[in-house]
């Protein structure tokens, strides 16, 4: 009955690639819910790295990942993807997907707003190591 389920994490070498998936329950249509990706390493603050808006699919990327990560969505499958390339050891973290009904959850021009992201997945672990 999980409303959000992340998958695709695992062990990858530096410079490698992974594609994370965020499967969202059909009752939370991506036509109306913005979706964001966060990551958190032990002892570190949770960082909002990307989000995609419901209205027009515009995307936001944090400076730490810009140029290496692409967020996309398949509304028919109600799934959001995070393509990660040129991975670094610093990318090692648990990656979380979250959704929010409010258009303020993700504007595409600023960092995702935790205040309006009401539904969260349990996370998937990405480990970047040689």
Question: Which pLDDT band holds residue 1 (cuts at 50, 70, 90)?
Answer: confident
CB atoms < 10 A from the CB of 116, how many? 17
Mean pLDDT, range 22-33, rounded to an integer: 97
Count CA atoms closer than 13 A to 32's CA, side-chain side. 6
What CA–CA distance (Å, rounded) separates 55 from 37? 17
Cβ–Cβ < 8 Å for 102, 7: no
Mean pLDDT of the chain: 97
pLDDT at 118: 96
Cβ–Cβ < 8 Å for 64, 54: no
Mean pLDDT, range 14-31, rounded to an integer: 97
Q: pLDDT digit string (tens) for 30-45? A: 999 999 999 999 899 9
Mean pLDDT, range 76-100, rounded to an integer: 98
């Amino acid at each position: 009955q999980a409303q959000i389920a992340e998958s695709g994490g695992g062990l990858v070498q530096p410079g490698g690639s992974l594609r994370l998936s965020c499967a969202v329950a059909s009752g939370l249509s991506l036509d109306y819910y913005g979706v964001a990706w966060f990551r958190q390493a032990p002892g570190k603050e949770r960082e909002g790295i990307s989000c995609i808006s419901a209205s027009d699919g515009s995307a936001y990327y944090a400076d730490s990942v810009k140029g290496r990560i692409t967020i996309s969505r398949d509304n028919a499958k109600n799934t959001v993807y995070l393509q990660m390339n040129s991975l670094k050891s610093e990318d090692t973290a648990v990656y979380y997907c979250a959704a929010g009904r409010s258009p303020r959850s993700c504007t595409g021009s600023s960092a995702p707003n935790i205040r309006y992201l009401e539904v969260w997945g349990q996370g998937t672990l990405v480990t970047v190591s040689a």
